[in-house]
Structure 1
Amino acid sequence: MPLDQISDEKEMSFLDHLEELRWHIIRALIAIIIFAIAAFAAKDLVIGTIILGPSRTDFWTYQKLCELAELIKTPALCIDTLPFELVSRKLSSQFMTHVSISFFVGLVLGFPYVFWEIWRFIKPGLRPQERKASRGATFSVSVLFMLGVLFGYYLIAPISVRFFSAYQVDPSLQNLFDLSSYISTVTMIVFGCGLLFQLPVVVYFLTKAGIVSSALMKAYRKHAIIVILILGAIVTPPDPFSQILIAMPLMLLYQMSIVIARRIEKREARQNKEDK
């Protein structure tokens, strides 16, 4: 029986909780595997069109940058060449890349369901008031994650690919990137952006738990900006432009988190006043 269907009055042992958690994890893994199998079968779309998209000059982002460059009369903004080639240097490299990409796509597509399974396990342990306040958590987490994934894929990943492909320590050196290196860079950026966009949700629950407050976040805003820039440096190439591109939405999310924390504090203060 699912944990959320068990009566609040019925206590479960520690082993019962572990057993329930095990089944939630199993169902989440099954969802990931199903999406991964579908991605494995759709090789031309997933790898040829999506994953390798930022490695080609006809990628949507590059085309829009060229249109913008023509509009504002700034030719340097247009990315019409990518001076590199992808190579596969190991016998099993392409097959293992196919498997790893399929699993990654399965994880991204299955993320909302995975979180929902985790949430189903956590939710029965919350008080009725906390359950009501956290209504729509799965939807919010899923939307923010997908926005982060799209932001990483259409903005940070192509700019990172362009930076690395154009960077040369000497003109005599030719860029021949290993396929696994390209894949790991793109997937790390995309998934990392998806996780970083969860900041408002994290702040929401920390505020509900009384760990952070809007006043605290305002006081440490400057420190947060430094941390955001460091995070931007971790998930992007070491060029200031890419770091700023990812830092700007994160700063906006941080400001949104302050607003969320302030609203929660006002709501709880009003409820406490009504209880008295």
Structure 2
Amino acid sequence: MTTDPTPEQTPRQEALDEARMSIIEHLAELRTRLIYSIIAVFVGVIACWFFRDQIFTFLKQPLLMAAPEGQIELSNIHHKDLAEPVFAMLKTALVGGIFATSPFTLYQLWKFISPGLYSHEKKIAIPFVVLATLFFFGGAAFCYYFVLPYGFKFLMMFGLEVSSTPQLMMSEYLSLVTKLLLVFGVVFELPILSMFLSAMGVIDHNTLLRHWRAAVIGSFVAGALLTPADPMTQVLLAVPLCVLYFISIGVAFFFARKRKEKEERVMKELDELGE
């Protein structure tokens, strides 16, 4: 025999049902945004496949820049079997597709989180996408023009000192380069993340300042985990991470002040209405 829910149980059950529906709706929205992003990347990969040779040549330039003068043969890339170039070119097209469609992917990320924002917070959609794209490409450019040439040069010179000549494999080289480009691109999004969270009131500059020591240590740990085992490349990731963290503090301070000014203005308007 079933019993009717008591008046005390009904509101609780309704709250649980609303929470359950909210989670389901969020998961459905996440699935939709992921599908759109995957389709966009797939289209980008197909488009980049027709430019695979140019993209591969572009990705090889840091290695050519690192080769000592008169020893350009050290930058030659080999493949161990007949199928390796095919998979390497697919990886090249994939990375090209990810970068080419990154503005659309970032917009889908914004569409996923925007339902939980206030109307005035949704107005920063275009600045968010533009800045996030610029910082993503900026991080990849920093890696391409500074980290990779100096890191490769260090490793080449170290190998020559021990009378060892590198035999670079196509797949391993592309895996290393693409991983570092993507890592630096994502890492450079830190100020944008700080801007977004501080605008929402999730964090402020005081929170970031309290944890700056842990952030510095974490930057060097991340540099050790995400880069090859040479100190040069590790430092070239850790130092920008530290700089970006302190830039994020300034960004958080700016948005926290703007939010505080707006709250004070709203409170003043409410007080005037109350009078």
Tell me the SS of whatever aligns to 1:56.
Answer: helix
**C-alpha distance 212-164 of structure 1, shift in aligned 2 (>3 A):** same
Give the Cα separation in 1 of the matches to 2:32 and 2:23: 15
**C-alpha distance 18-241 of structure 1, shift in aligned 2 (>3 A):** closer
Conserved? CA contact 1:85–1:177, under 8 Å: yes
Unaligned runs of 5+ in 1: 1-11, 63-77
Bigger helix share: 2
| Residue matched to 1:53 | 61
| Residue matched to 2:156 | 165
Give the Cα separation in 2 of the matches to 1:90 and 1:41: 23
Matches within 5 A, 1:243-258: 243-258=234-249
CA drift of 1:26 comes to 2.7
Q: Give the TM-score of the pair, scaled to structure 2.
A: 0.78
| Residue matched to 1:95 | 86
The answer as to 2:52 corresponding to 1:43 is: yes
| Residue matched to 1:141 | 132
Matches within 5 A, 1:231-270: 231-270=222-261
Give the Cα separation in 2 of the matches to 1:217 and 1:51: 36
What is the number of residues matched between the two proteins? 245
Unaligned runs of 5+ in 2: 1-20, 268-275
Q: Give the TM-score of the pair, scaled to structure 1.
A: 0.78
CA drift of 1:98 comes to 0.6
Give me the CA root mean square deviation. Answer: 2.6
Aligned pair partner of 2:115 in 117, 124, 128 = 124
| Residue matched to 1:180 | 171
> Greater shift after overlay, 212-221 or 164-173?
164-173
CA drift of 1:124 comes to 2.8
The residue type equivalent to 1:257 in the other structure is: S
Tell me the SS of whatever aligns to 2:168.
Answer: strand
| Residue matched to 2:213 | 222
The answer as to 2:40 corresponding to 1:25 is: no
The residue type equivalent to 2:191 in the other structure is: P
Tell me the SS of whatever aligns to 2:159.
Answer: coil
Rg: which structure is higher?
A: 2
> Greater shift after overlay, 238-247 or 16-25?
16-25
